């Protein structure tokens, strides 16, 4: 499929909108009431710190809603205002935050049902309005919705679209896209749908396996067994790993994406030599600025003397998970929670350790003076951060 031609055609359709409806002022009050926080605004003005009794809170200097998320949520609110009576659907969560998605459900926005990991579009009819979320949708989903006669409101973050453009360049030049991402994540699924030949690697360990294979150190059968669900149909490692380009899910750990790029560059240099390197390896910078800023701020925060860290964001939020990773690598006692209700009743917390199921810790806050670091993922409203700080204050005072 010529995905570039399809996008051009879709973008010229009178049933497609990616710019909003000019109703920003009309929805501003609702957005402010639902998501903004005077307490957080005051903390920003006070050096990102708050002292209350024995509790000292230190906020990361970049956290919470990014521009792409703000844009997506505002467009969803505008869509409901512009289409007051039509049925409105979202192909997935608008962003990975439960409170934001619950607000949209309260506005009678419908979510595409998912059965055993497969979306069921059978309930969508011609004339329905369908919102594409901030992390995008697959080209196949867009095609289905267009052919069904739906009105499409596209809130895809421009940084995600930038990655799509990158893998389309790879495809044009018969280059295999090495996508650093989580193979089942909606953004990676969307990106791979715009690619030609692709292979998804989760981390440095998987990237190393691929590089070893390129250098003749791997076994084809075990390689294909490992990556069977992470590659394009008909993928042949002996053929398709001769020319590669690196792209990424925009919310991955920046330093890891950069190291994976260097790893593949060294590998192709070793195999093909400096004269032919540019024929076998290409790299484009597709790291999201907001993701980078939040990770940089987290690295600065964990250099502070902290007794514990609270990381706030949806459990399926990739960028939040990577913030948690940074705290763990520094040996800081860290808790990832998605809503304020995870704290209490009493001195307890229900949190999600990295790579594990939810667990309850009681007692949560130790006695004595306490220094708590706080950050939140790009899909987390300031109001949620305020509510969690308020609960921490109440606990410390108890």
Catalytic residues: 187
SS3 content of the chain, % helix, strand, coil (to 5): 45, 20, 35
Reported as type and span, the H/E element at residue 51 is: strand 49-52
Per residue, what are the HEC states of 317-374?
A: CHHHHHHHHHHHHCCCCEEEECCHHHECCCCCEEECCCCCCCEEECCCCCCCCEEEEE
| Nearest CA among 207, 150, 210 for reference residue 15 | 150
Task: Give dist(CA 158, CA 150) in Å, integer.
Answer: 22
Q: Could you tell me which residues come within 8 angstroms of residue 386 by beta carbon, excluding any fewer than 6 positions away?
A: 37, 39, 40
The structure tokens listed for 341 are 């209700």
Backbone dihedral angles phi then psi of residue 74, each to the nearest 5 degrees: -60, -40
How far lies 304's CA from each of 155, 214, 237, 307, 332, in Å? Answer: 37, 42, 45, 10, 11
The structure tokens listed for 257 are 């994406």
> What b/e readout covers 49-74, taking b as 16+ CB neighbours within 10 angstroms?
ebeeeebbbbbbbbbbbbebbbbbbb
Q: Could you tell me which residues come within 8 angstroms of residue 358 by beta carbon, excluding any fewer than 6 positions away?
A: 350, 351, 352
What letter does residue 148 receive in the DSSP assignment?
T
């Amino acid at each position: 499929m010529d995905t570039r031609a399809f996008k051009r055609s879709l973008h010229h359709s009178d049933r497609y909108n990616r710019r909003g409806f000019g109703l920003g002022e009309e929805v501003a009050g609702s957005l402010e009431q639902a998501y903004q926080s005077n307490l957080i605004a005051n903390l920003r003005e006070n050096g990102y710190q708050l002292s209350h009794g024995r509790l000292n809170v230190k906020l990361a200097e970049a956290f919470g809603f990014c521009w792409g998320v703000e844009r997506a949520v505002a467009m969803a609110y505008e869509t409901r205002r512009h289409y007051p009576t039509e049925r409105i659907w979202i192909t997935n969560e608008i962003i990975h935050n439960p409170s934001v998605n619950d607000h949209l459900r309260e506005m009678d926005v419908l979510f595409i049902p998912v059965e055993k990991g497969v979306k069921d579009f059978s309930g969508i009819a011609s004339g329905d309005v369908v919102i594409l979320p901030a992390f995008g949708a697959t080209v196949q989903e867009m095609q289905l919705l267009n052919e069904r006669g739906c009105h499409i409101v596209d809130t895809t973050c421009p940084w995600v679209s930038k990655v799509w453009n990158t893998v389309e360049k790879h495809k044009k030049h018969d280059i295999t896209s090495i996508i650093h991402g989580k193979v089942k994540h909606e953004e990676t699924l969307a990106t791979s749908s715009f690619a030609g030949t692709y292979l998804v690697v989760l981390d440095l360990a998987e990237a190393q396996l691929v590089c070893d294979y390129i250098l003749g150190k791997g076994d084809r059968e075990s390689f294909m067994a490992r990556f069977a669900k992470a590659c394009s149909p008909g993928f042949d490692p002996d053929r398709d790993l001769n020319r590669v380009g690196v792209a990424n899910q925009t919310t991955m750990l920046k330093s890891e994406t950069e190291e994976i790029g260097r790893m593949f560059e060294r590998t192709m240099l070793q195999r093909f030599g400096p004269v032919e390197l540019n024929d076998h390896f290409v790299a484009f910078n597709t790291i999201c600025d907001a993701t980078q800023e939040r990770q940089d701020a987290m690295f600065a925060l964990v250099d502070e003397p902290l007794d514990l860290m609270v990381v706030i964001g949806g459990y399926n939020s990739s960028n939040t998970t990577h913030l948690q990773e940074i705290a763990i690598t520094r040996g800081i006692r860290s808790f990832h929670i998605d809503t304020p209700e995870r704290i209490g009743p009493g001195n307890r917390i229900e949190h999600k350790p990295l790579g594990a199921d939810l667990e309850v810790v009681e007692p949560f806050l130790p006695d004595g003076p306490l220094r708590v670091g706080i950050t939140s993922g790009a899909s987390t409203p300031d109001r949620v951060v305020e509510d969690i700080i308020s609960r921490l204050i109440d606990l410390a005072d108890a």
